[in-house]
Amino acid sequence: MKNKFLIVLLTVAIFIPSIVSVVYYNKTNGGAADTHNTVSVTVKDVGGNTFIFNRSDGKKSMEVITAFLDMNKNATEIASIPPTIEENAFYQVTISTAAKDAGYKYYFTLISADCYFMDGDGKAYQIAEKDAQAFLESPYAASLYENGTPPVLSLGDSAAKPSSSQWSFQNSTGNFTQADTSFSVTEEIETYTMEGGMVMNFPVEPDYFGVKITDKSTDQVVFDDLYENIASLTVTDSMQVHAEVSAKWYEDAERTYYGEQTYSFDAVLNAPAAFYAGATTLQIGEFICITGTNVSNPENITFTSEPSIDYTPVFYKDGQSDEVHALIPFNWDLAAGNYTLNFVYGGASQQININLTGRTNSFRERTINIDSNIAATYGSDAAIQRCQETLEPIAQKASATRYWEGSFLPGAQESALRNGFGHTMKVTGTDIQYRHTGIDYALAAGTEIQAVNAGEVLYAGYLDYSGYTVVIEHGYGLKSWYCHMTSASVAVGDKVEKGAVIGTAGSSGFTGETGVHIGMTVFDVPVCQYTLWDSGTNKGIPVYTAE
């Protein structure tokens, strides 16, 4: 009996280490996360800033790890997170043990009794009020508060990282908490490219904004003053500089924030942009070409006009150069007078004054005869709608390639011109009237129709309203439109030269005579083409050149 007991005892002793190991593994690796087995907690706040807390980093990180574990442990499971809360941005938190990562979504509000989280299985919990309040007073709640995180310094398209940063925000108790700004700070000297000078902006204006700039090529200080005086720094060509910036927001009884940040970075300062008009006097319904120099990214040009011309130009780069071009139409509804065009790019702003005059031959009403059957069939609302649905997307297309060169052709004999641009057309015997977007030519059927200038065919086909139609893109959104032909002799994608035959005169679609309708637009804005002809005043589109 004694020997049997001894055998059992020895057997148990042998397995004790294994049992202990299993229990320890379950506790530290396989079980729920706790202060013993949690390796790290990663927190991504609602502003997209990421903080990583490793237990090996010491007491501060362990306090944050413990705070999130306590929030989970003390929370109360509920059916679902309130819909109004779930619509809000959330903290993405990953709690990692050696065995697995567990993801959570924390929905914090500034009311401690109204904070929740959702685990990886989609279960919802309400956070205990004391745990929520502790977090709301912590440095990592900064993104929940207006001006809780330090302002970002913008350098044109780039955001500069500070070399040092201290920022405090007023929390939900009315006291101030110092934010953790480690995510924003860098020791690296980064290089930025800035257009038109040293342009810097904070979303919250500093009380003190000092700037020191050193020309790296000469090691000479070229500016050391408040930023408000930066206009005195002249940049005539590309400069490579080093900048030291200090910004301070002072503590004030009326504010919910205060702090200071310093920056140290290199910059390439490009010469300021300049804008020029190919012409500064034109008639209602005409268009101009604007040229910008020292522009590397035309999408960053800001445009306004006074009075408004109700149009936003699109600029296109001229090959690999730093020149850009845009066509700007002055549509037929504008009043004659002086218009100021405002262009802003980087640190440069410029105004161009345009004198818009009335037309020498003012827009008139014209009556035309169209057979009632043609009007009913080809001029119906359904026919017009089908035509618009097909051609409106075509009107919005544009090419960054400038195809046109020199003057433009009328496209048919000038002597055959019947109805001109901009007139109000009234169809006899009907209530149909419309504004004429181009020029009608009366021509014998089969007369060859020429492309008014070089370009790419965007559309070639038949539509009930416009008949056989061709649309050619000449570059920068400038298009010519040819309607009511007997046939089209080009196809979409064809590149055509000035004077190339693109179809023949006819009477297809909604028209009362044989010939062709030729219009021009900048994108979808109808423009007058008379001045572009050899017989016109401009003999083409005036484009600024440095000469």
Assess contact for 475 and 404: CB atoms under 8 A: yes
Kindly state the DSSP code that residue 100 receives in the 8-state scheme. -
Question: Alpha-carbon distance 288 to 356, whole Å?
Answer: 11
What pLDDT was estimated at residue 13?
A: 43
What are the b/e assignments for 27-60, b being 16+ CB within 10 Å?
A: ebeeeebeeebbbbbbbbbbeebebebebeeeee
Question: Alpha-carbon distance 172 to 109, whole Å?
Answer: 10
Please state, rounded to an integer, the average pLDDT across all residues of the chain.
91
- Which CATH architecture best describes the domain 38-144? Sandwich (2.60)
Rg, C-alpha atoms of the chain: 36
| Helix-helix angle 59-74:129-136, to 10 degrees | 150
Query: Is residue 444 pLDDT above 70, yes or no?
Result: yes
What pLDDT was estimated at residue 316?
A: 97
- Tallying the residues shown for the chain, one arrives at 547
Query: Is residue 9 pLDDT above 80, yes or no?
Result: no
Q: Encode pLDDT of 148-169 as tens digits.
A: 999 999 997 799 999 999 999 9
What pLDDT was estimated at residue 35?
A: 87
What pLDDT was estimated at residue 16?
A: 41
Computed from CA positions of residues 24, 29, 35, 40, in that sequence, does the dihedral angle turn out positive or negative? positive
Q: Encode pLDDT of 421-442 as tens digits.
A: 999 889 888 888 889 999 999 9
Q: Based on the number of CB atoms within 10 Å of its own CB, is 312 exposed (0-12), middle (13-18) or buried (19 or more)?
A: exposed
Question: Alpha-carbon distance 176 to 108, whole Å?
Answer: 19
Q: Encode pLDDT of 93-146 as tens digits.
A: 999 999 999 999 999 999 999 999 999 999 999 999 999 999 999 999 999 999
Q: What would the DSSP string read from start to end of 419-485? A: E-TTPEEEETTSS-EEE--EEEEE--TT-EEE-SSSEEEEEEEEETTTEEEEEEEEETTEEEEEEEE
Computed from CA positions of residues 127, 133, 139, 142, in that sequence, does the dihedral angle turn out positive or negative? positive
Extents of the domains making up the chain: 38-144, 153-270, 274-357, 366-532
Spatial CA neighbour of 394 closest among 323, 325, 309, 482: 482
Distance of CA 250 to the CA centre of its chain: 34
Query: Is residue 202 pLDDT above 90, yes or no?
Result: yes
Per-residue pLDDT band for 31 (boundaries 50, 70, 90) equals low
Question: Alpha-carbon distance 162 to 180, whole Å?
Answer: 13
Q: Based on the number of CB atoms within 10 Å of its own CB, is 227 exposed (0-12), middle (13-18) or buried (19 or more)?
A: buried
Which residue has better confidence, 197 or 38? Answer: 38
Per-residue pLDDT band for 238 (boundaries 50, 70, 90) equals confident
Query: Is residue 20 pLDDT above 60, yes or no?
Result: no
Query: Is residue 476 pLDDT above 50, yes or no?
Result: yes
Which residues pair with residue 187 across a beta bridge?
Answer: none
Distance of CA 184 to the CA centre of its chain: 24
Helix (H, G, I), strand (E, B) or coil at 250: coil
What pLDDT was estimated at residue 25?
A: 40
Question: Alpha-carbon distance 272 to 276, whole Å?
Answer: 13
Query: Is residue 182 pLDDT above 90, yes or no?
Result: yes
What pLDDT was estimated at residue 224?
A: 97
Query: Is residue 208 pLDDT above 60, yes or no?
Result: yes
Over residues 186-197, mean pLDDT: 90
Q: Which CATH number applies to 366-532?
A: 2.70.70.10
Give the range among 307-321, 357-371, 390-404, 493-507 with minimum mean pLDDT: 357-371
Q: Encode pLDDT of 446-471 as tens digits.
A: 999 999 999 999 999 999 999 999 99
Per-residue pLDDT band for 18 (boundaries 50, 70, 90) equals very low
What are the Cα distances from residue 468, in Å, to 274, 369, 433, 486, 506?
A: 44, 20, 22, 6, 9
What pLDDT was estimated at residue 21?
A: 41
Over residues 411-419, mean pLDDT: 91
Same fold, 38-144 and 274-357: yes
Q: Encode pLDDT of 331-378 as tens digits.
A: 999 999 999 999 998 878 899 999 999 976 678 888 888 888 888 889
Distance of CA 515 to the CA centre of its chain: 44
Spatial CA neighbour of 193 closest among 273, 268, 266, 293: 268
What pLDDT was estimated at residue 361?
A: 66
What pLDDT was estimated at residue 347?
A: 74
What pLDDT was estimated at residue 12?
A: 39
CATH of 274-357, one of 2.60.40.10, 3.30.70.1560, 3.40.50.620, 2.40.37.20: 2.60.40.10
Question: Alpha-carbon distance 44 to 144, whole Å?
Answer: 12
Query: Is residue 220 pLDDT above 50, yes or no?
Result: yes
Per-residue pLDDT band for 24 (boundaries 50, 70, 90) equals very low
Query: Is residue 541 pLDDT above 90, yes or no?
Result: yes
Spatial CA neighbour of 411 closest among 389, 441, 380: 441
Per-residue pLDDT band for 319 (boundaries 50, 70, 90) equals confident
